Chain A
Amino acid sequence: MDLLAQYLMNGVMLGLMYALVALGFTLFFGVLNVIQFAHGDVLTAGAFAGLAGYALVVRAGVQASLPQLLTVVLAATLSMAVLGAVLGRTLVLPLKGAPALNVLLATLMGGTALRECIRLFYPGGSQPQRFPALLPSTAWALGRFTLRLDNLLMLAAGMALVLGVSLLLQRTRTGLAIRAVAQDEETARTMGIDFRRVVLFTFALGSALAAFAGVMNGLYYNEVNFGSGLLLGVIGFSAAVVGGLGSLSGAVLGGFLFAGLQTLGAVVMPFASAYKDVFAFGMVILLLAWKPTGLIGEPLGERV
């Protein structure tokens, strides 16, 4: 029972991270019908940007963990918002209308460049980096299961963020513009919506979400690695696909579905924990084969 609670907590945390990444994929796909495969590496870059921000404020003599935490989160999300918009502007928008393979390869290579930059230029970037524990370490022992305050805080923040994004899309003018572009680019343009601005804003938003997931990932595992975004990116994308690309609730659902399956795998086969990534990738393949157009989205046959 206690162990199960531990698994459950872990699964929910994973699910939230996947959901945040999937949200980005689904947003990009919504406005531009492209897949931005550098997204996973944006997540890593976000975590490292947060780490750099942390190093700076520590050097400036800030000791309290709350300002440190704020710096980390802001450095990560803001810099990735900018980077996301830049990637959208330089990699994705110019390739609008090019063969799908080109966009795919361009973003994959963009991601490689990011990854390599971290590995080569971040001090010690080729080795896993310790991520500081910035959240209160209060914990309550409930039998053998320890409920940790930091996990709860992260959960709350992540959920709030997801909620915030959905409110933004449903309730604000910007959200309306994004939805209009997602629905029909041409019509949105003729209605006077600045297409480029909407696209770039969406890229900034999605990338900031990924950066937040990167910080969460760092705080949760106390470690970041230049290659860790690859796995999260692939799973996040698959989660978005399974939930139906373009659908927000689908992305969140897909994220939790993946985490759930992964946790289930860990519960059923605790002896194979070394194989958990193998299992995750295998699941990506199986789920895509099973529901190539997602669980919710209706199959879109080609019009002849």
Chain B
Amino acid sequence: MTAARARVRSALATLVLAVPCTLLLYGFLAAESEGKVALVLAGATLAAALGWRTGLLGWAVRASGQGGLALGFALSGLALVAAFHEDPFVLLLLARALIALVACLGLHVQLADAGVPNFAGAAFFGVGGYTAAVLGKGALPHAVVLLACGALAAAVGSVLLLPLLRTRGHYAALITIAFGLLFRTFFEVNESLGGPQGLKLGGLEVLGFHFNDDRHVLGLEWSGYAFYALAALALALAALSLVRRLERSWLGLALDAVRLDETAAACFGVEVARWKIGAFTLGNALIGVAGGLSAMMVGFIAPNNFTFQESLVLVSILLLGGLGNLAGLAVATLIVVCLPEKLQPIQEYRYLLFSVLVVLVLVLRPAGLVRRTARRSFGSAAA
């Protein structure tokens, strides 16, 4: 009886959350002029402020629960893909945002959970991309190729493990910065992998299903990018659920202990190095898979896509979303990826505007945009 009521409550809360979000996103993605984009943004800000003030937002998030939030995310994504089924531009944008979310989740595990900085996110993304470009041409099934993208990114990252374990803070950050710059320069001068011109890729194909082809399904004409967007949605959901579970378990607790106080953690048996290695490796694997999928979708990669700027953007997304806050991360990724595309006049200035924005946030709100909350119980009462 009460279980059924709880379920209804959760479903209701999910709707309260998902419907306005989906509508706002729809409006945002469909807006064709800068004015309309601004209008939708104003609406979103208003809605968020209202939801926050009235407590509705907080209630909805809490009452939906984990399953509800995931379901809402999935349904909202599906609805958007269906609504834009013929619009390759919007679908590509959506897919790119979802793929970036996966990459950011990888960084999140490293930086927000274990406290290991990684300013070479774009480079690991690139490792995934180049792996997909090289292996994708062969006979390997593409699902395996995607896994290989993650594995290779993790393997390349393992080269940095020793330096990273021996250093901390700024020094560790510098090592990753140097690696990111090294990666890009290497691919620019190394002609065997396309040099500065890069490489072309064929599209993703799983079990004979070619993602690049437009097709007629359910009486509708679907752009090929719709299938990529769906694949990205599935990947993002899987990554989200993985990171959620990780954080709400002893694993996440051990990572927290490592991040917050290595010395005290060591005195209670936590193998600090092991946890850092695990988090760094898992994070890079996620970034690598995302990079592989992205490369297959775009059909082309070049060193210029994997600059230090892009790595900085990835880290900044984490910060803007509120370090350690998954929902904030999703929102920030969406905004940072999509906004410049929708506001063409600022395209050219996006790095400049973005860097100024991040600096402002850091100086004016040193504690981050959204405060980190303590982990709630994952005992049986909470499940």
Contacts and interface: CB of A to CB of B under 8 A. Distances in A.
Interface in A263-304: 274-275, 277-278, 281-282, 284-286, 288-289, 292, 302, 304
A288 B167 contact: yes
Contacts of A289: 162-163, 166-167, 175
Given A101-B111, A278-B185, A302-B263, 4 more contacts: A98-B362, A112-B351, A116-B351, A116-B352
A167 to B, nearest CB: 29
B356 interface: yes
Contacts of A113: 352, 355-356, 359
Contact of B117 (A101, A109, A117, A234): A101
A113 B363 CA distance: 15
B178 interface: yes
Given A241-B171, A275-B189, A292-B171, A95 B362 contact: yes
A281 B117 contact: no
Contacts of B316: 105, 109
A83 to B, nearest CB: 14
B182 interface: yes
Interface in A63-77: none
B167 A112 contact: no
Contacts of B309: 112
B198 to A, nearest CB: 17
B175 A288 contact: yes
A94 interface: yes
A106 B182 contact: no
A50 B378 CA distance: 61
Contacts of A105: 312, 315-316, 319, 358, 362
A278 B174 contact: no
Given A285-B175, A289-B162, A274 B312 contact: no
Interface residues of A, number: 41
B362 A281 contact: no
> Main SS of the interface on chain A?
helix
A279 B187 CA distance: 13
B74 interface: no
A255 interface: no
A234 B177 contact: yes
B124 interface: no
B175 A117 contact: no
Interface of A: 35, 90-91, 94-95, 98-102, 104-106, 108-110, 112-113, 116-117, 120, 230-231, 234, 237-238, 241, 274-275, 277-278, 281-282, 284-286, 288-289, 292, 302, 304
A113 B348 CA distance: 13
A25 B163 CA distance: 21
A284 B179 CA distance: 9
B357 to A, nearest CB: 9
11 contacts: A104-B173, A106-B362, A108-B119, A110-B355, A117-B352, A120-B352, A277-B181, A281-B182, A288-B166, A289-B163, A289-B167
B311 to A, nearest CB: 10
B59 interface: no
Nearest to A294: B171
Interface string B340-359: 00000000110110011011
A94 B189 CA distance: 41
Q: Please indicate which of the listed interface residues A104, A120, A238, A274 has the most CB atoms of chain B within 10 Å of its own CB.
A: A104
Given A105-B319, A109-B355, A112-B355, A230 B308 contact: yes
A302 B117 CA distance: 20
B176 to A, nearest CB: 9
Contacts of B181: 230-231, 234, 277, 281
Contacts of B163: 285-286, 288-289
A-B pairs, top 7 by smallest CB distance, nearest first, are A289-B163, A281-B182, A116-B352, A112-B355, A109-B355, A284-B178, A106-B362
Given A95-B363, A120-B348, A289-B166, A112 B182 contact: no
A234 B120 CA distance: 14
B269 interface: no
Nearest to B352: A116
Contact of A234 (B160, B178, B312): B178
A106 B359 contact: yes
A120 B349 contact: yes
Contact of B186 (A102, A241, A275, A285): A275
B379 interface: no
Interface string B148-189: 000000000000101100110111011101110110011001
